[in-house]
Chain A
Amino acid sequence: MFRYTIRRLLQGIITVWFIATATFIAMHSVPGDPLIQNKAATAQIRKNLEIKYGLDKPVTQQYLIYMGNMLKGDFGISFTQQNRSVNDIIVKHFPVSATLGILAIVFAAIGGILWGALTALYRNRLPDVVIMFLVILGISVPSFVFAALGQLALVHLNALAGRTLLPVAGWGTVSHMIVPSLVLGLGTMAFLTRLMRSSMLEIVNADYVRTARAKGLPITRIFLKHELRNAILPVITVLGPAIAGITTGGFVVELVFAIPGLGRYFVQAVQQLDYTVIMGTTVFYGAFLVLMVIIVDLLYGFVDPRVRVE
């Protein structure tokens, strides 16, 4: 187990290096000029800027310098926010995105498992039909439409209540987090519900469940220990990739709800061709996702005794 973990981590490090290199290549093949400004700078001012950001050196040298700095954990200084380091941006804004993402994932997982179990239980009856209809709606509407509708619903809710029940946008308190994380988790929840339902239906027919029934085990025990627990396994497997999916929607929700997350910074940085921020966030996100997948794999080993050793 320990050796497996080490091996996975080593692989992860190589993967991160690969991501960094790919990002660097992509970044430097982008046409356009990161230093250009709306009001043209003189040649001198421009040269001063190039020297400051090391863009006057050959690309290979820039690559080596960048990799060296990255090993030291230094992503450089932002091009647009000229006296903020990319590390500072990540440290300040990633926790926001992560908070939103974790809440969304937890919401999606809880909701997905519960709804999924419920639909399997009431299969082909009214609750099943209603929930599955909602689920289908959840997976077929783009996230930005949900975000916009969610915010609109909040405005009307507050207007009806005559006071601010939940804030319309912004960040900082628990009440700011609830609706954005619900909106963000909705798609994933719908997906997990479907997965949970089919996995439950498969298990209901499994031999060990039949055995458990034949033994006359208490119903609650069968349901909790045999059915629910085993049906959750496939849900856990997809949690890793689901986190990646959450970052996607994260951009949209952060834009619409005025949340100072990293995703919004990334989109801004792309518009501004802010090399260092783009590189820093991409590498960081890549590393984060790699780590998440490893953690989920290890976690899976704990939950499912059958895959303990690979």
Chain B
Amino acid sequence: MAEVSLPSNAFEPVTVERRVQQLTRPSLSYWQDAWLRLKRNRRALASAYIIVALLAFTTLGPLLWRVDPASQDVDQVSQTPWAGRTATVVPPYSPWDTQADARTSDDSAKPLSLAIAAPANTQAVRLVWTADPQASGYLIYRNIMLPGPEHDLGLPLGEVVGSDQTRFEDRLDLDPMRYYYSVVPLDADGMELAPGPPLAVDVTRVITAELAVARGLVPQTRKLADGDAVRLALHPFGTDYLGRDLLARLMYGARVSLFIGIVAPFFFVLIGILYGSIAGFVGGRVDSVLMRFADFVIALPLLLFMILFKIAFGIGPGESGIVPLLVALVVLSWPGTARLVRGQILQIREEAYIAASRLLGAKTRYLILRHMIPNTLGVILVTLTFAVPSAIFTEAFLSFIGMGVAPPTPSWGSMCNDGVKTMLTHPHELIFPALFISITVLAFNLFGDGLRDALDARMRSRE
């Protein structure tokens, strides 16, 4: 047997570790846990960012994009996004002095041959034509396409009476593009005869020096001469039916829509909490009377009453009508939350941990602060996030039937309603406000979803 030698230091006394079992996870409070879970929900987080961005859009946006949402430019109506264009400076519009301007088109030309009497621009297109002795008057048409063989001459611009009246001035909504004008002689009974040949006119965009300065397109000091080119204001989202900047209006419209969307739910949820918790705590007869009343209010058809309230409050001159809308929403919407809160409180009151807490000597105040509020807050927060989209929708709907905010206050709903009418010709006037409503509603919905998942105590035990 070989001898085994063991060094003395091979032996050591066993040290007793006094450390207790270590927690694998840090202790988390309910809110910390909910927060963690919310952070892990990417959709909810993105929605939260979107909501913050929307709030920034409406609060900080106007500071960056300093365009007056009420400033109209009727020469730039319904411009498509990013239509930054140049205009030529011309003298201000003055009515056509037909006496002084004896010019007519060449008399030797065939009857009804059209010509322009002055360079055509967006202020006016001045037309002259050779007279048709048989005519009792003329109708002037304008088209955006070359008229086809079926005489689709386009818009009937106007009528002049008398065979020798051979001038017409067109000022109707002129865009810098090519138009085709035609003149149709009328017989003695006012019936249309065969039209003359169409005339193609290229219209140029112009602006007066005064307007260019007033709109801040050029520095005050710069002297503008006729014929100079001026860069027009840029409208990243285009303009609306009165030539107002859509981006600026969206920012201000967001104030109305988000204000109604956030403040109204805030108030009715607050009232609902108070009402519901009183009913829940006091209980008994008070509870049943309070809840019966809430049931009545819940039974009122919401939209019909919104409309009724809206006209009953009446809006004074210069008022936007936001306050009546808000009041009506609050008055009609609180019972939902009240019922919810009452139910929660009744339920929590019976929970074992409340009884335990009570046995340990907790006072009512402690119970409310420590148990009731935190445990109902989750449900309330979720209700709040879901109430926001429905409030925004209600405002949009009222705008649609003409009961929304009063002009000139913009709201997304009323902008949408204006946009629906021009859907085919200027889709951007519908798309942008509708997009903003959709994004907002979506963000609040998804955030609400995330919040609900995060605050759901049952989810907590599942991990």
Contact = CB atoms under 8 A, between A and B. Distances in A.
Q: Do chains A and B touch in the complex (CB under 8 A)?
A: yes
Interface in B300-316: 300-305, 307-309, 311-312, 314
B314 A266 contact: no
Given A251-B303, A286-B301, A142 B397 contact: yes
Contacts of B357: none
A266 B400 CA distance: 15
Interface stretch (B97-105, B212-220, B438-446): B438-446
B300 A19 contact: yes
Contact of B308 (A141, A251, A282): A282
Interface in A132-182: 136-137, 139-145, 148, 152
A144 B300 CA distance: 23
Secondary structure at chain A's binding surface: helix, strand, loop or mixed? helix
A58 interface: no
A136 B445 contact: yes
B180 interface: no
A281 B442 contact: no
A244 interface: yes
Contact of A15 (B295, B308, B438): B295
Interface residues of B, number: 39
Interface in A1-57: 11, 14-16, 18-19, 22-23, 26-27, 29-32
Interface string B380-417: 00000000010001001100111100000000010011
Nearest to B420: A148
Contacts of B430: 145
B135 to A, nearest CB: 39
B302 A244 contact: yes
A293 B314 CA distance: 32
A239 interface: no
A18 B301 CA distance: 12
B416 A145 contact: yes
B379 to A, nearest CB: 16
B445 A139 contact: yes
A281 B304 CA distance: 9
A282 B305 contact: yes
A300 to B, nearest CB: 16
Interface string A240-284: 000010011001100100000000001100110100001001100
A140 B437 contact: yes
Contact of A270 (B311, B416, B446): B311
Given A145-B416, A252-B397, A270-B311, A282 B303 contact: no
B308 A142 contact: no
Interface string B337-372: 000000000000000000000000000000000000
B300 A286 contact: yes
Contacts of B441: 139-140
A9 B156 CA distance: 63
B427 to A, nearest CB: 11
B414 to A, nearest CB: 12
B314 A27 contact: no
B299 interface: yes
B445 to A, nearest CB: 6
B389 A140 contact: yes
A29 B111 CA distance: 67
Which bucket holds chain A's interface residue count? Answer: 35 or more
B308 A23 contact: yes
A18 B296 contact: yes
A29 to B, nearest CB: 5
A290 interface: yes
A252 B400 contact: yes
B299 A144 contact: no
B434 interface: yes
Contact of A142 (B311, B396, B445, B446): B396
A32 B310 CA distance: 13
A289 B434 contact: no
B439 to A, nearest CB: 8
A265 to B, nearest CB: 12
Interface in B164-187: none
B309 A26 contact: yes
A285 interface: yes
Nearest to A15: B299
Nearest to A21: B296
A13 to B, nearest CB: 11
Interface in B409-463: 413, 416-417, 420, 423-424, 430, 434, 437-439, 441-442, 445-446
Interface string A103-114: 000000000000
Contact of B416 (A26, A142, A251): A142
A220 B89 CA distance: 78
Contacts of A286: 299-301, 304
Nearest to A22: B300
A31 B397 contact: no
A140 B445 contact: yes
B301 A142 contact: no
A132 to B, nearest CB: 10
Interface string B61-101: 00000000000000000000000000000000000000000
Most B CB contacts (10 A, CB to CB) among A11, A145, A266 go to A145
A221 B417 CA distance: 49
A244 B393 CA distance: 15
A259 to B, nearest CB: 15
B335 to A, nearest CB: 12
Contacts of B396: 142, 144
Contacts of B445: 136, 139-140
Nearest to B442: A140
A14 to B, nearest CB: 8
Given A18-B296, A145-B434, A267-B401, A26 B423 contact: no
Interface string A196-234: 000000000000000000000000000000000000000
A244 B389 CA distance: 17
10 interchain residue pairs of minimum CB distance = A140-B438, A140-B441, A18-B296, A140-B442, A26-B308, A15-B299, A144-B400, A31-B314, A30-B312, A285-B301
12 contacts: A22-B305, A31-B312, A31-B314, A32-B314, A141-B437, A144-B420, A145-B434, A252-B400, A252-B401, A255-B401, A267-B401, A286-B300
Given A19-B301, A140-B439, A248-B303, 6 more contacts: A136-B442, A141-B437, A152-B423, A266-B307, A270-B307, A282-B308
